[in-house]
Each structure stands twice: as structure tokens, then as C-alpha cells.
Structure 1
Amino acid sequence: MISIQFDKLQFWQFSNLSKCNEINHFVSGRKGGCSTGELGGLNLSFKVNDSELNVIQNRKLLSAAMNVAENHIVFPEQTHSDRVAVLRSLDDADALVNTDALVTNLKGVCIAVMSADCVPILLYDKKNMAVGAVHAGWRGTVSKILDKTIEAMEKEFGTKASDLIAGIGPSISPEIYEVGHEVIDAAENAFGNISSMVNKREGKTFFNLWEANKFQLKSRQLNPDNIEIAGICTYQNADEFFSARKSQNKAGRFGAGIVINPR
């Protein structure tokens, strides 16, 4: 990933997606913005202990950075589900409850997800000019929400995996993400052999969310050269990104979004 600065805001971009002039995208950090304390900086969520005015102002800063209208950045109401919604018009934005992934081919509309340790994933179909934004915690990952997002893009836009470019964003790393047997059992049911996704040390089990989502992309036959993993741990870099686990669930939420530029 590459770091970019917009006024007082620090953003990150995937190297592979940044080469595509037809789109713009972002992964936000926590610096800048007007929230304070554990929410300090650019908290984008109304569902944490932050004032509505702070979040509105933070989203205004984000829309300015992305050069889109304030009501043209669309976040779903995330619940760790496996539901993928197709955004066919801005009128659909009010009905995005229980939704953790969005896809669209609308120009000038930035679809985005929020995170604070879960994996944000951005997709771009360079042939059919369609994009996707995915929020994948362990529940979404083992429910194969990323695979279902690609399936939705295939059905709606005629997307072929060979035309997709994917960025797997900052999240809690496999060195830190200790899990219990319920996660491992669910992962085995979803993926079969998960030896590449699990590490055990000192009697503890650690799960690799990055590898589990990359597995879904590879299963769809994406070109490995088109898959970029940020490799940035939110827990270990909690000064740059929000981390729910590091803050004992007091953190704000950063975002990841993608937009097809108007012509």
C-alpha cells in the first residue's frame, strides 16, 4: 500500500488499484477529523460512543478528499452478515440494513465499508466498470462473503474473475488474532484444509484472515498478480488505525471505499 495525504487526513491506497485511472479509492486512518479520545480523529461510525456532529463532519472531510458529494458516499449497516447488496441507485442507500458488502456500477458514487480489526476488501472489474466493497470479520470470512460478492458481480454485471483487481486491507494480523475452537470449526467447514490459515504456538491458536480471503479469490481463479494484501496489522498499528481488540471495543471505525470516476 501507499500512504497519501489530503489536508490533515492520512489515507492509504492499494498499489494495484491506484494504477487504474477510471476509479478512485481509499483506506482511511484515524488521524485528522474531529473525534477525540479512543475515537480520536476520523471516526466514521454513528454506532460508537461519538457525537453525531463529529461523525457528520468527519464524513464531510472524507467526501471532500474523495471529490464526491456528501450523500454520494454510501455505507451499509454492517452486522457481520454474509449479505451482499447491489446499489442500482442512490435511492437504495436507505435500505442497506444487515449488509456487509456492496457492489455497483454507478459512476460518482463511493461505496464503502467500516472496520476496526475486520478485513476491508475492495474489488474492481476493469472490463465491465463495476466495483465492490466488502467487510469480512471471521463470521463473514467463513460465510464466504467475498466469494458471494464476486458471485453478485458476475450475476449483475457479467464480471469475470480474470478481470478483477482486489485489495485486502489492514486488519488484525495472523500473529495477533487468537481465536477459539468455534472459529476453527467454522473455517474447516467452510474451506476444508485450513493448515495455511492457522498457526499454533504456546497452546494458542491464531487465524489468518488475510489468507482465508485470499483463498476465496484464488478459488475464483483470480490472477495472483491482481491480488494485493496490505499486510498492515490494525492491532499493532493502533496509532494509525482503529482496533477494537486493542481498545477493548472502545475504538472508532475507519473506512475503505471505491468509486468509479464520472467521465
Structure 2
Amino acid sequence: MEANYGQVKGWQCQPLLKFLNLKHLFTGKASDLNLAKHQPTIFPEKSVDKNREILCKNFDLNYENLVVLPIAHTDNVLVLENEKNENQKPGHWDAVITQLTNVPILITAADCVPILLYSPEKKVLGLVHAGWKGTAAQIVEKAVIAMQENYMVRPSQIIAAIGPAIGQKHYEVSQDVADLLVQATESEKILNTSGTKPKADLKLANYLQLDKAGVMKIYVSDMDTALHTSVLYSHRIQGKRAGRQGLIACML
């Protein structure tokens, strides 16, 4: 469902709104709110920190505690045990799980799939960034496993929300990538092979991986970054003119 927080506009998963100790938002491009320091881009890097501060202020979250995941298209899952990340080895992660409260977490994307994982019973939060590389490496399944191993969360206790991402119509991939995605999902359903190049459905791929992992409540946004460029950034469509929207979430 659409959500409006002052300068910040986006979407929320309605079934998650009943949990008053969880705040979440899939942001859009309203007010040119680019949230990532990426290249190449037309957006000045110095504006990113200000935009993140605006996001937190409008969403009533503590900007000083904000943790931003350094996206690197990996299958690495960070177990966040303190807001300063002091006990973690340097590196890059595309997923994070935590039981921390009052620590907002932000992941960014411009076509890749942002995924929120939440266990209300165990009070465990997870955020996942799944591009084709992460999807091929089954990163969302690995995040579910990490929640099991670190916090004793059963997959059936997890609610998953798959946010705005590129749709199949505009997501042509090479045959090699298509083969990797089919192997990772064990399903040909994620591909449309009617054209000269296969087209992949990343949202469906991650849905199937969540289902395989045992997650029973999975909600999928119908917002397509490539089709809805008036409200969302799309790297495939806009190139360097594409900023990065985000998924921000925080337990209270």
C-alpha cells in the first residue's frame, strides 16, 4: 500500500503494519531522494547523507543509529549485534539479520529485489538485497538459514515482503545467467524464452526460494521499477540518471 511521510513517499506491506514494534518503508524517488553513493551517477555524493537524514527524520527514526548495508552483489549475511558493527570483520554484505531495537537499517536498489524478513515471535528482523547474482547464490535462503542458526527462528515464523523491483518484461539476461537462475530456483517458470533473449522474473525467483526455505507468508509488491519510472528509479531504463531507492526497517 502507498505511504506518505512528508517529503518521503513509498510503499508498505499492509500485513506488517499491525506489528507496532516494527517500522518499514520501501521508498521511491519522490523529492529526488537518492539514497546511495554509487557510480556512474548524476547525483552529487554529498547529498546522499542529507537524503538519508531526511528519510530518518520524516519516518521518525534515529539517524545517528542508521546502519547502511554496503551493497556488493554477494551472498554474505551480516549478523548485526551492535549498532556500531564493532565486532564484525570488514567486508560487504547484501543481507543483514538482527534483534537490535532502535537501529534503523537501510538497503538500496534500483532494479534489484529488496526483501524484508520479520519474525514477530522471536523479534528478529532481516533485510535482503537480491540482484541476479545474489538470487543465483540463493541469498534470501541463506538469510532464512542465518535466522534459524543465530536466533532459533523457524521459517514458518517468518513473514516476508518482496518490494518494488524490475519486472520480467524489461529484464533480459544472457543464457548463462538464465541457466544459473533456473538452477538456483529449480524452476523454468521464472523465464520467458519467447524472444531473442531470455527474460527473468527476479521477484518470482526469490518468492520460490522463500517458499522452498519454508517461509509460508510471502507478500509481493506489484510495483515494477522499469514500468513505474515516474515514482521509482530503474538502472536498466535510466542508466546513470537512476538514483537508488531503499528499504528501511527498524524494530522499536
Shorter-chain TM band: over 0.9
Supply the AA of the counterpart residue of 1:178.
E
Deviations 1:52-74 (A, max 9, x none): 33112111111112322112221
* Structure 1 residues 183 and 246, CA gap change in structure 2 (3 angstroms): same
The 1:73/1:95 distance shift into structure 2, 3 A limit, reads: farther
Q: Distance in 1 between matches of 2:46 and 2:170?
A: 34
Deviations along 1:148-184, one digit per CA (max 9) or x if unpaired, are 0011111111111111110001010012211111111
User: Are the structure 2 counterparts of residues 96 and 63 from structure 1 closer, same or farther at C-alpha, using a change threshold of 3 Å?
Assistant: farther
Alignment equivalent of 2:139, drawn from 130, 142, 145 = 145
**Could you tell me which residue of structure 2 aligns to residue 115 of structure 1?**
109
Correspondence list, 1:179-194, <5 A = 179-192=173-186, 194=187
Relative to 1, partners in 2 of residues 1:176 and 1:60: Cα closer, same or farther, differing over 3 Å?
Answer: same
Q: Deviations over 1:133-152 (max 9, x none)?
A: 00000100010000000111
> What root-mean-square deviation, in Å, do the aligned CA atoms of Structure 1 and Structure 2 show?
1.5
Q: Offset of 1:18 from its aligned partner?
A: 1.7
Counterpart selection for 1:158 from 152, 160, 180:
152
- Indicate if the aligned counterparts of 1:27 and 1:256 stay in contact, CA closer than 8 A: yes
Measured after TM superposition, the shift of residue 238 of structure 1 is 1.1
CA distance in 2, matches of 1:212, 1:176: 15
Within 2, Cα distance between the matches of 1:157 and 1:180?
38
Seq. identity, %? 30
Partner of 1:44: 35
The number of aligned residues is 249
Q: 2:170 aligns with which of 169, 176, 179?
A: 176
Q: 2:227 maps to which residue? A: 236
Cα distance in structure 2, aligned partners of 1:119 and 1:161: 20
Whether 1:63 aligns to 2:56 is yes
Q: Indicate the residue corresponding to 2:28 in structure 1.
A: 29
Is the CA contact (8 Å cut-off) linking 2:5 and 2:59 kept in structure 1? no
Contact 1:170 1:233 in 2 (8 A): yes
For residue 10 of structure 1, what is the amino acid of its counterpart?
K
Q: Which moved more, 1:50-59 or 1:81-90?
A: 50-59
- When residues 20 and 96 of structure 1 are mapped into structure 2, their CA distance, relative to the original with a 3 A threshold, is farther
**Which 4+ residue blocks in structure 1 deviate beyond 6 angstroms?**
none
| Aligned partners of 1:111 and 1:132 also within 8 Å | no
Match of 1:36 in 2: none
Letter in 1 for 2:200: F
- Contact 2:97-2:125 at 8 Å conserved across structures: yes
Once residues 71 and 231 of structure 1 are traced to their aligned partners in structure 2, the CA distance between those partners, rounded to angstroms, is 33
TM-score of the aligned structures, taking structure 2 as reference length: 0.94
Which amino acid in 2 is paired with 1:80? H
In the alignment, structure 1 segments of 5+ residues that lack a partner are 33-40
Distance in 2 of aligned mates of 1:175 and 1:7: 33
Match of 1:248 in 2: 239
Q: Distance in 1 between matches of 2:110 and 2:135?
A: 15
